[in-house]
Structure 1
Amino acid sequence: MSKQANGSLEVMQNVADNLRQARMQQGYSQEVLATRAGISRRMLVNIEAGESNASIATVDKLASALGLRFVDVVRPPSLTDKAQALPLRIWQGEHADSHASLLESVAMPGMALELWRWQLAAGDSYHAEADAPGCQELLYVLEGSLQVQLLQQNHMLQAGQSLGFALDQPCSYHNQGAEPCTFTKSVLMVPHQDQ
């Protein structure tokens, strides 16, 4: 998936297949699903064809519009045991040392909790779109230093430090150090309310 999503070709194909199958099972046209998710029909057509690199936030919006969890859309559709799907590399940056893997996803009534492991190469960044109101993130830096830029706040975290914040705003992660930065993210996801 691109700079904002940059997943592997395998994950892009998983997303395409799972979205198309779930949409058809629920009897939605592409127009209806796109409207429910707040994206253009053209974008959905391209995602289902495996020709578009959807951002992580866009995939989450589509999953929510279908009443699914993010993990249900990115996992290989052939797996009967969903637990075997994880960990799964979801994002790969332009640098080999920049990548993110979904380690675990736990469903709870009205929400899901996801555990991620991220690594950013020296000098690399990742820009995330805003998510649904009520979604929260708690990150913890394992190695290196990480700059987290929120709408009107800038935080510099070193190894051993953590930060929690609401995801209803765009945010950016920057590694301005000379070595890769590794961090975990625990993300509390709630359904998008624009369905």
Structure 2
Amino acid sequence: MSKDANGSLEVMQNVADNLRRARLEQGYSQELLASRAGISRRMLVNIEAGESNASIATVDKLASALGLSFVEVVRPPSLADKAQALPLRIWQGEQADSHASLLESVLKPGVTLELWRWQLAAGDSYHAEADAPGCHEVLYVLQGSLQVQLVQQSHTLQAGQSLTFASDQVYSYHNRGAVACAFTKNILIYPHVGQNPEQ
């Protein structure tokens, strides 16, 4: 799943099945859930039909609107145990060496922590939508060079360097180097920051 590349077909089907089931169990219409998540009803219809390659941020918004964690929406519906579902490849770029896997997800009262491993092929990029208000990312580069473009700043990280930033803004990753770049990403998610529970 991504804004500019292909997601895993298996994960897209997992998302479609899990969202539809959770929405019906909670008695939400598609219109109400779409409104709570801040997306269009048409987009939700397409996601539930498995016909839309939703971005990671969009899936996260839908999960939050249903009171679920991201991993509960992307894992295979047959697996009730989160531990059995991970690691799970969530994003696959157009190049084989560009992909991202969710390694672990820890849900605590008021906060979720996710651990990801990302890889970008030489010359490749990933463009992300803004996360929910209050969310932060902590990146650590394992190999290669990673450029992180924020709204008002650009950071270039080499292997062994890290960066923390607020991810409630549009941002992007770029590998300007000649070899694949690998990095870990921790995401701190505060599901209810800035949200109106009455919506």
- State the TM bucket, normalised to the shorter chain: over 0.9
Is the Cα contact below 8 Å between 2:133 and 2:168 reproduced in 1? Answer: yes
Match of 1:87 in 2: 87
Asked if 2 retains the 8 angstrom alpha-carbon contact of 1:3 and 1:94, the reply is no
Which residue of structure 2 lines up, in the alignment, with residue 152 of structure 1? 152
Residue in structure 2 matched with residue 69 of structure 1 by the alignment: 69
Unmatched 5+ stretches in structure 1:
none
Deviations 1:71-123 (A, max 9, x none): 00000000132210000000000000000000000001011000000000000
Q: Does 2:64 match 1:55?
A: no
Instruction: Report how many aligned residue pairs link the two structures.
Output: 195
Cα 1:6/1:130, change in 2 over 3 Å: same
The alpha-carbon deviation at position 3 of structure 1 amounts to 4.5
Q: Is 1:24 aligned with 2:24?
A: yes
| Mapped partners of 2:109, 2:80: distance in 1 | 22
Q: Please tell me the root mean square deviation across aligned C-alpha atoms, in Å.
A: 1.1
Retained in 1: the 8 A contact 2:3–2:54?
no
AA of the residue aligned to 1:177: G
SS of residue matched to 2:54: coil
TM-score by length of 1: 0.97
Per-residue displacement from partner, 1:9-64 (whole Å, max 9, x unpaired)? 10000000000000000000000000000000000000000000000000000000
For structure 2, the 5+ residue unaligned runs are none
Aligned to 2:143: 143
Q: Within the alignment, does 1:14 sit opposite 2:14 as a pair? A: yes
SS at match of 2:151: coil
Matched, 1:39 2:35: no
Identity percentage over the alignment? 83
Residue of structure 1 equivalent to 2:168: 168
Distance in 2 separating the partners of 1:10 and 1:149? 30
Amino acid at match of 1:104: E
Letter in 2 for 1:183: F
Contact kept in structure 2, 1:5 and 1:55, CA below 8 Å:
no
Shift of 1:2: 4.9
